Amino acid sequence: MELDVQNGYQGNIPFSNYPDFSQHGYQVIQELGRNREAGRTTYLAHALKTDQRVVIKEFRFASVIPDWSGLKAYEREIEILQQLNHSRIPRYVDSFETSAGFYMLQEYKNAPSLGLERSFHPEEIKQIAVSVLEILVYLQKQVAPIIHRDIKPENILVDDLLNAYLIDFGLARIKGAKMTLSSFAAGTPGFMPPEEQFGYPLTEASDLYSLGATLICLLTRTRSVNIGQILDAKHRLNFQKLIPQISPCFRSWLMKMVAQKRQHRYANAAIALEVLKPIPVIGNATSLETLVATVKSRKKTFVLGLAAIGTLAVAGAKFMITQSAVVNKQVLEARECQSLNSTSNCLDKNRH
């Protein structure tokens, strides 16, 4: 179920030109998308017996590279889909073969692809991120963890309630399974994690990189085909200045998702999801920055307090000095009076 907006094609083909699948029990309603290079076309159809809507993915034998791994890609996709039971992964329905190619049927979800020109508020993008991460948590908790390997805007559908659906498991692999040479670096440039480009083993952190790149495209309103515009000379996603309105904490989370070395990313989707949930998307201060500001404020108050105490101490010292001078003067005057035997005059003097 793949809508390849990347190739700039959406079908408006006359109904009569659609392939006839009536003998297999299905009638095409419209074409959803096409990937000419891979020889795949996707149709929306309904089952003639149940009127259930389904998606038919066509694999054209003549269009793909005549390689065993290429011809059998759909078999691996079916094998993986048959293991899965998640409400936001369209389930496998059926398959059949004709002289033109192979056809795989999946459940239809009424949700457009993120590959279409759609704009979302940063808070909505966080909600989409949470929804996709929940799917990845499910995939990674399988007895044999599944790595999707091709997460990008075109392979994520989002409905009006911001529920995300993950599609196109054509490149998916079970963690640790051996891959043929032709399957290495088979993802989409810009969304492919660095370890895949260099043939290193993939981990649960590999799909996190692709999801992070997808979220950055949504935040910067960058189309998939233009993702190269936000890559620097070292092929790192350089997006910080493009989305100044997001909070530093959310920005840090994104940067960790797309770290070049997988060891520097979150280890898996469950951890990334747990960290993301409490993070505010919009704002100028992180919790740490708020704490530092509070400490600075209290420190300033403390310093002001010390200054006030110091001022009082100085004033007190001056007062004591003044009082001491007065006392000393009185003592001298008393002694002077005594020496002159004029006590009464001294008393009068002191009263004045």
By annotation, the residues acting in catalysis are: 150
**Which residue(s) pair with 95 in the sheet?**
104
CA distance 57 to 40: 7
CA distance 223 to 211: 14
Name, in order, each residue with C-beta under 8 angstroms of 14's C-beta and a sequence gap of 6 or more.
none
How many CA within 13 A on the CB side of residue 294?
Answer: 7
| Single-letter amino acid, residue 96 | F
How many C-beta neighbours within 10 Å does residue 292 have?
12
From residue 246, alpha-carbon distances to 126, 169, 265 in Å are 11, 32, 20
What backbone torsions phi and psi does residue 187 show, to the nearest 5 degrees? -80, -160
**Are 56 and 27 spatial neighbours (Cβ–Cβ below 8 Å)?**
no
Closest CA to 258 of 317, 314, 195: 195
